[in-house]
């Protein structure tokens, strides 16, 4: 198997296989009778329609889950006091790299996104899904120089994803990785504002395309169409909100139960 270009939400949900995410979701939707509940009360629909809703919604959802998980981690680390402090010092005195040891901690974010169910061109229901992604990191040693994160000497991360509908679990997935897999550093990732002349020529692939955490559904959701057609444009992403409202940083394990 060739190396992944990035670790996506779908690949976490599929236990390392993004293509498996749709299967995980379909089994969950069938288990909670999503199609039946979505179309209940309308006599024109029967078991075939209920099953098609489950199948097509499951196929549409992974298109909402293409965001790069490394971007989530990076947004959390941009708030880390020790990393930002090291970045500030090394920016002002380049050539003196600093090693930063990060205690065990967790970064988490919640997405909420709609899937609109259409029959004969008319919307019959909107299904509001929620996905919670958490990253538990352990024994991370980061190297900072010139205001950038330039190396990761060690560190493991456990990524876990959970999708719910109507407060019922639809699917879960998890995988464990070396933290460097999430953040290919290349020329380094800026942690603080840098002088214009020091700006990198291109943004790291792991930081590109990551939508801000969402407070609610996007203006246009995925659509399920009759006759086994589903649309979920990858360009549609959850509406932005202040990341501070979603990120729990830092979150040591021994404090995880505190409110």
* pLDDT tens track, the chain, 259 positions: 344 568 999 999 999 999 999 999 999 999 999 999 988 877 778 888 888 888 889 988 888 899 899 988 998 899 899 999 999 999 998 889 999 999 898 988 998 989 988 877 788 889 999 999 999 999 999 999 999 999 998 899 999 999 999 999 999 999 999 999 998 888 899 999 998 754 444 333 333 333 333 333 332 333 333 322 333 333 333 333 332 223 333 333 343 333 3
Alpha carbon of 117 to those of 57, 128, 149, 219: distances in Å? 8, 11, 44, 15
Helices (H), ranges, the chain? 9-13, 21-31, 34-39, 47-60, 69-77, 81-92, 179-182
- Decide: 210 and 76 in contact? Cβ < 8 Å: no
- Among 138, 149, 76, 135, residue whose Cα is nearest residue 102: 138
- Decide: 69 and 240 in contact? Cβ < 8 Å: no
- The number of CA neighbours under 13 Å toward the Cβ of 121 is 0
Determine how β-strand 98-102 pairs with β-strand 122-145: antiparallel
- The position carrying tokens 């600093």 is 98
pLDDT at 121: 79
Residues 6+ apart with CB under 8 A from 219: 239
- pTM score, whole prediction: 0.71
């Amino acid at each position: 198997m060739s190396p992944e270009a990035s670790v996506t939400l779908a690949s976490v949900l599929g236990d390392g296989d993004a293509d498996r995410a749709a299967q995980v979701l379909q089994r969950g939707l069938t288990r909670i009778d999503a199609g039946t509940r979505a179309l209940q009360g309308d006599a024109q629909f029967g078991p075939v329609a209920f099953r098609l809703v489950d199948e097509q919604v499951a196929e549409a959802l992974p298109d909402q889950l293409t965001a790069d998980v490394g971007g989530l981690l990076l947004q959390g680390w941009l708030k880390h006091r020790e990393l930002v402090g090291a970045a500030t010092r090394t920016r002002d005195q380049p050539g003196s790299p600093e090693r930063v040891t990060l205690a065990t901690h967790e970064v988490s974010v919640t997405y909420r996104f709609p899937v609109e169910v259409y029959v004969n061109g008319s919307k019959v229901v909107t299904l509001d899904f929620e996905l919670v992604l958490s990253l538990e990191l352990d024994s991370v040693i980061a190297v900072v120089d010139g205001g950038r994160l330039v190396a990761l000497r060690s560190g493991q991360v456990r990524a876990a994803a959970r999708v719910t509908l109507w407060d019922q679990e639809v699917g879960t997935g998890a995988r464990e990785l070396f933290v460097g897999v999430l953040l290919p550093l290349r020329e380094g990732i800026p942690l603080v504002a840098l002088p214009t002349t020091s700006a990198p020529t291109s943004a790291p692939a792991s930081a590109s395309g990551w939508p801000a955490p969402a407070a609610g559904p996007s203006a246009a959701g995925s659509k399920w169409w009759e006759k086994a057609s589903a649309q979920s444009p990858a360009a549609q992403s959850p509406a932005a909100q202040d990341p501070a409202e979603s990120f729990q940083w830092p979150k040591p394990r021994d404090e995880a139960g505190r409110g």
